[in-house]
Amino acid sequence: MDDKIKINLQMADSFFPLTINREDEEIIRKAAKQVNIMLNEYRKHYSKLSVEKLFAMTAFRFSLEVLQLEKHNDTLPYSTKIEELTDLLEDYFRK
């Protein structure tokens, strides 16, 4: 059974009605809070920009952070090297 709830998130000067899973409420509200914090930082430095541009800058910053984290957590080069070393060790012990 889906345990859905309706919430209203406030970001900047707008409200966004959402229907979400109850267990996701805390993280969704936390994400909205982070967006508001970042928007307010940009508002302080770029007070003449429109809310749309501030949202765009915020979205860009979050996207950049996600991509940097993905790059930082890329384990493929290590997995490949471990496989190579495992093959070398197996060959060595077979002889």
Residue-wise pLDDT for 35-90, tens only, equals 999 999 999 999 999 999 999 999 999 999 999 888 877 677 777 878 888 888 88
The pLDDT value recorded for residue 42 is: 95
31 pLDDT higher than 80:
yes
Query: How many Å apart are CA 29 and CA 36, to the nearest integer?
Result: 11
Q: What is the dihedral of CA 14, 18, 23, 27, to 10 degrees?
A: -30
> Hey, what are 67's tokens?
């991509």
Q: Tell me, rounded to whole angstroms, the distance of Cα 22 from its chain centroid.
A: 20
The pLDDT value recorded for residue 1 is: 55
Query: pTM to 2 decimals?
Result: 0.69
Identify whether the C-beta of residue 3 lies closer than 8 Å to the C-beta of residue 21: yes
The confidence band for 2, taking pLDDT boundaries of 50, 70 and 90, is confident
